[in-house]
Structure 1
Amino acid sequence: MNFAIRQATASDAEAASHLVTGLAHYFLADPAAAESRSFVAGLTASAYAERIGSSQFKHYVAEDAEGLCGVVAFRDGSHVYHLFVRADAQGRGIARALWQHARLRSKHSTFTVNASLYAVPVYERLGFVAKAGPQQLHGVVFVPMVYSHD
């Protein structure tokens, strides 16, 4: 599969929001639950545009012939805030490529992520290690994980 990675711009906010909200069933215990509302509110196009414009975040996107096929966002240079790949493009190395692209542009050697249960095996293949058991916050069940590169 051919795809290109580039830094995200505000014009990517709508497509990124659409991609991630389309995958909500993988990471939200119940997307319609009241406890999920604050998390889901952070997935809107306007919320994405705000983060893309923030110096606290770095966003990169992968594009293929169909359009946006992946997104990665780092918060404060060392926390993987989002790493998502379009459902029909999963298993093709896009998540690994996005992770490596973003990691190599960061000044940090240790990274954290709150991985959804669905994504834990992906993060393990990328070199992350679980630091605690599953937790739940804002309707998201996740495993805190860390990656250290010496």
Structure 2
Amino acid sequence: MALSIRGATLEDAKGISDLIVPLTKKYVCPTCDESVHNALITSMSEGNIVNYLSQNYQYVVAVDEKSEIIGVAGIRDSSHLFHLFVSDNYQGQGLSRKLWERIKSEALTNGNSGRFTVNSAINSESIYLSFGFIRTGEIRNRDGMIDIPMELETAC
């Protein structure tokens, strides 16, 4: 299997949304209050991904040999990891780490001083811990959105 990771473009918005919406429904929504499910899913629509790509967000995508998007990482302001998703068929193969390393490297190139944050879904904490993130607070409920604030300080 030939996989590659590249910077995302506006033309990738639909593919990114098509990947992350079902994964969010499967893995994130069950850990949050039902009252936020629609807002969460809407935030990942093609139109919103276009908005993110047009603003202060940077995305990288992993594509397979058919150029289908199988993984994505998005970062806001070169410091806050906003999205990190890998297709079920490719999980457990180190792809999330490769996506993280690529987006982190680009953020550092773009002026990040070495501090990153993420609001981890409950069932994603172990992945971020393996990347070196640490909890900065307890599990929190922000109007139904359940997450864990985490950060990573890295030497540049």
Residue 90 (structure 2) aligns with: 89
TM-score of the aligned structures, taking structure 1 as reference length? 0.91
Cα deviation for residue 41 of structure 1 reads 1.1
Cα deviation for residue 88 of structure 1 reads 1.2
Contact conserved, 1:29 with 1:141, CA < 8 A, in 2? no
Residue 61 (structure 1) aligns with: 61
Cα deviation for residue 32 of structure 1 reads 9.0
Residue of 132, 135, 149 corresponding to 2:137:
132
Whichever residue aligns with residue 122 of structure 1, its letter is I
Q: Deviations over 1:80-138 (max 9, x none)?
A: 01111111111111111111111111122000000111110000111101111111235
Q: Deviations over 1:42-95 (max 9, x none)?
A: 1111111111121x1111101113511111111011000111111111111111
Q: Aligned to 1:92, what secondary structure does the other structure show?
A: coil
Please tell me whether residue 78 in structure 1 is matched to residue 103 in structure 2. Answer: no
Change (3 A) 1:114 1:53: same
Residue 34 (structure 1) aligns with: 35
- Partners of 2:128 and 2:42 in 1: CA distance: 25
Residue of 132, 144, 149 corresponding to 1:144:
149
Cα deviation for residue 35 of structure 1 reads 2.6
- Gaps in structure 1 of 5+ consecutive residues: none
- Partners of 2:5 and 2:141 in 1: CA distance: 32
Residue 127 (structure 2) aligns with: 122
Q: How much identity, in percent, do the aligned residues show? A: 27
Contact conserved, 2:31 with 2:121, CA < 8 A, in 1? no
Output the aligned Cα RMSD.
1.8
- Partners of 2:124 and 2:31 in 1: CA distance: 17
- Gaps in structure 2 of 5+ consecutive residues: none
Contact conserved, 1:28 with 1:139, CA < 8 A, in 2? no
Cα deviation for residue 33 of structure 1 reads 2.8
Cα deviation for residue 22 of structure 1 reads 1.1
